[in-house]
Structure formats: C-alpha cells, structure tokens
Amino acid sequence: MTLDKELHKELSGNLRRVLKGAFTDRYVYWAQHIDEAIRGAGTDEKRLIQLVIMMSDQDNKLVNDVYQKMYNRDMFTAIQRDISNNDWGRLLKAWMKGENTVNVDPATAADELWRAAKGAGTDEDVFIRIFCTSTPQTFRQIAQCFQQKYGKTLRDVVKREFSLRSEFAFLLAHDYLMDPASACAFMLNKAVKGAGTDDESLINVTVLYSDYFKGDAIRKAYTPYGDVTKALKGDLSGKYEKAVLAMWGLQ
C-alpha cells in the first residue's frame, strides 16, 4: 500500500488533508489544487488567486510543466479561459504571463502609482504593469519612495483603491513582492480571522511554504497581526493543530 493510500485510510478531515499535502511533491500539489480551483461550473476565485500569486517566476514554469504532464493542457491557457477580465483576473493573467525582471526608476514608478490612484477612478493597468514586471528589490524601493514622497504606504493605497477579491489579490501581490514570508502571514491571518477557519487557505499555505519560513521567520512576518502561535492555537484543535504548528516549527 502506498503512503498516500495509508494516510487516506488511517486519517480523516483536515488532519488527513494537511499530512497528505506534506507528503506530496510540492509542484504536484500546486498543479492539483490549481486544477481543482478551475474545474467544474464555478471558479474557486479566492483559492485560485492565492495559488497563482504565491508563485514566483520559477515556480510558474515548474508548476506549468507538471500541470502539462498531469492534465495534458497548458495551465496558463486553462486559467485564462476560466477567469474574467476584471481587475483581479487581469492581475492573475499578467502575473503568470510576465516576469518580475524589470528594474525601473523607483521614484518614477512611485509617481505613476500615485497618479493612477489619484482622482475619481483608479488606473488599474498601471498597478498591474508595475506589480507584474518589477523585480522584488525594485518593488521594495518603489514602495519606500512612495511612502517618502506621499506620506502613505503603497499597501494602504491598495486597500483604499480596490475592493473584495481585487483588494485581496493586489494586497497579496504587494506582500509577496515585499517579502514572501509577509504574504504567508497575510494568508494565515486571513485564514484564522473571523468566525470560522478557512482551512483550504490554511492548509495550502502551510503545505507550500512552511518549509521555507519555519519558526522565527513566520513569527516575525506575522508580527503586524499579533502572535502566530496564539492565532493558530486559538483557531485549531487536536492533532490538526499539532500538525500545523509542527510544520511551521511553532511547537
């Protein structure tokens, strides 16, 4: 019997999901869950946004290769056909199609973003272009210039200018470019905040990123939201709680 079948036989619920994920190849897991998000009558928008935005340029290529082998179709084409041309949909398409390799003048880009957010309507295309092409290092410089020149953080302006799914997508992209650990913290906070746990999001970010940001890394990144260990313990229970804490190195 394979390990996957043994886990399926012996465990159940969220504990089974998180442990099966932990013992699945990272890129196979990513491809499977992207396919699940776009399969069927309706797109699981939030799930798809998370899975796409959390991909680096290198991840994008590797996940697409695995997806092609597993489902005999191009991942970008499959997603493109499934989402609309609203703000978050265009962000996702540009994120997958482009590469964050451009070094622009940070002050010029900061000015462009300010003008794009100023006035009655937001010029979303400017945000999409800068978010989807700037190198992470350049993006951090843009954010610093933006705050120095205009007295507001770029993140706060994103929150003001976008709403609902688009707000979530652009905030996640912002945080990922600033520091992937911050994006993980944002997702964890979103998953445990409120009346019920978003187990799907929690499990996905844990499976895909806990190996990279264990212990002090996720503790530090989560600081804007409080204590990550307390947050997880306050929302989870039993062996599921122990498994998630162990994977994040928070025991």
pLDDT tens-digit readout, 101-127: 778 899 999 999 999 998 666 789 999
Tell me if 183 sits within 8 A of 192, measured CB to CB.
no
Q: How many CB atoms lie within 10 A of CB 203?
A: 25
Tell me if 89 sits within 8 A of 124, measured CB to CB.
no
Average pLDDT over residues 128-143: 95
Q: How many CB atoms lie within 10 A of CB 70?
A: 14
- Residue 29: is its pLDDT beyond 60? yes
Query: What whole-number distance in Å separates Cα of residue 35 and Cα of residue 198?
Result: 19
What is the total residue count of the chain? 251
Residues 6+ away with beta carbon under 8 Å from 111? 149
pLDDT tens-digit readout, 169-220: 999 999 999 999 999 999 999 999 876 789 999 999 999 999 999 999 999 9
pLDDT tens-digit readout, 47-99: 999 999 999 989 999 999 999 999 999 999 999 988 988 999 999 999 998 77
SS3 of 200, please?
A: helix
Res. 1 pLDDT band, cuts 50 70 90 = very low
